[in-house]
Amino acid sequence: MTDVLCLHPDDDVANVLGPVRAGDVLRGLPAGGVLTASGAAPRYHKIALRPLACGVPVRRNGIVIGVTTAAIAAGAHVHSHNLRSQRARMRVQDRAQDKDPS
Amino acid sequence: MTSPNAPLNSPQMRGFVGARGAFGSRNHLLVLNATGLTEQIARRVAMAVPGAVMASFPYGMGVLGADAEAARRALVGLATHPNTGAVLLISGDRSRLEDIAAPLAANGTPFEALALDSAAHDALHLSALGIAAAARLRRAMSRRDRRPASLASLVVAMECGLSDPTSGIAANPLIGAVADRIIDAGGTVILGETLEWLGVEDHLAARARTPAIAQSIVDAVRRREHLAVANGIDLAGINPNRRNIEEGLTTIEEKASGSVAKSGTHPIEGVLAYGAPPTHPGLWLMDGPSYTPESLTGLIAAGAQVALFSTGSGNSYVSALCPTIKISANAGTLRALDTQIDFDASALMAAGSIASMAEALLAEVVATFNGALTWGEVTGEGNEVISRFGEAL
């Protein structure tokens, strides 16, 4: 049993207060009840509180902190592999497109 | 203390009297070096005189325009700082000395000024002259004593370095609660690191005192963002940096939303240029770089006598001139860095009360102002790093 810290009732993600392994039961959810971790996450990292589609904004503490780059299951680790910033990216994206033969 | 929000047992504060009603938390002899030619001489002098602190701008006469103005503001700000009891100015040439000497004379701070050009470019000779001058100043300024001060005389710098998720969840909101208390009591708070407003600039702008200030907040953020884009930089890996990311911060928006919690809830009085002093009490932003040493020196040059500095993973850097209180809510960091972190906020990660811990942190601010040493002062980690903003001739 590991606690999560959810900062705002509308949040899509919450921080875990200890290291989490797949199958761990997480409590401290804004709506009450528990959530089962669907993968590992290090202490203080974020897990999804609900399933998130690819390409949608993610809220933490009521603020959009980025956009998903993959579909994310409830209880899964949310970090650089599936969440990216929406800011200061124009030229970086341009460069990526330049290199892309398609 | 006249604020209705003041604690029942008003803290007893005593500070060194400075110019224009300012109070210093320390009484330092500042060896202030203004050119690259003379930095080693200044270092030699500062090391030879116990208790001296050094700040340096190790560049030359080719610094231009806004860059030169920022450097002058920072040098004058450190020289006339209320924590500066006396100044030994060192420079390659006399003209740079005159730039800083005029405001020092107006301020009434004891100082002596030495130019390498006036010592026939003999570095060892200038070092000997400097040590003697520093010794004279050190003895003279030791007569300065503490007088009653109040929270209204506080200017506090808010900084964070090597943040992790505990910074935004606990340590920074705690600092914000203290910011609110200090401003309630008539004091001043300054928050810098423009890039760490990115993603929450609209929330900050909504707290601006006027629409023009709101626009200047948004403009400052957009300018930094465009700077990153124009240089082809992906902020992921730079801000947040690799260590921030390892610890669980994913994006600049996430990091910024935690970082600005240090500002508390009060209205924003304006956006200061790097090293520029606030014109009245309240909450101020400073448009400056995010790298801790440059950022902190900008805030200290603006007149801060105490800095509140949160860290997640640990960050050893502190100001030389201004006591810097390190705060962490990461229990592992507190265990590992027991001669670095001054204030333990880890109880907030397990449902502790921010309000009651803010009282304790405010008491720590007062004790530190009054002379209690921070770990950074004990270990001698202090430095000042004046930022550069452009190419030199």
A69 touches chain B (CB under 8 A): no
CB B290 within 8 A of CB B329: no
CB B343 within 8 A of CB B326: yes
Shortest Cα–Cα distance, A41 to chain B (Å):
9
* Whole-number average pLDDT of chain A: 87
pLDDT at A7: 87
Burial of A20 (0-12, 13-18, 19+ CB in 10 A): buried
A83 touches chain B (CB under 8 A): yes
Q: What residues of chain A lie within 8 A of the CB of B228, using their CB?
A: 88
pTM here?
0.94
Shortest Cα–Cα distance, A58 to chain B (Å):
10
pLDDT at A13: 96
Average pLDDT over residues A78-95: 79
Structure tokens at B112: 């002596």
Structure tokens at B159: 């900084």
**Pick from B164, B234, B250: CB nearest A92:** B234
pLDDT at B9: 47
pLDDT at B80: 97
pLDDT at B352: 74
pLDDT at A102: 38
Strand order in the sheet with B155-160: B268-272, B282-286, B188-191, B155-160, B306-310, B324-328, B343-344
Burial of B54 (0-12, 13-18, 19+ CB in 10 A): buried
- Residue contact B251–A84, C-beta within 8 A: yes
Query: Model confidence over A26-54: pLDDT tens digits?
Result: 998 877 888 999 999 999 999 999 999 99
B297 touches chain A (CB under 8 A): no
- Residue contact B248–A15, C-beta within 8 A: yes
CB B171 within 8 A of CB B310: yes
Sequence-separated (6 or more) residues with CB below 8 Å from residue B172:
B160, B163, B258, B259, B260, B261, B262, B310
- Residue contact B198–A65, C-beta within 8 A: no
4-43 in chain A: CB under 8 A from chain B: 5, 7, 15, 17, 42-43
Q: What residues in chain B have per-residue pLDDT under 70?
A: 1-10
Chain B residue nearest residue A13, CA to CA: B254
Nearest residue to A39 via CA among A90, A12, A76, A93: A76
Average pLDDT over residues A74-94: 83
Rounded to two decimals, the ipTM of the complex is: 0.89
pLDDT at A28: 85
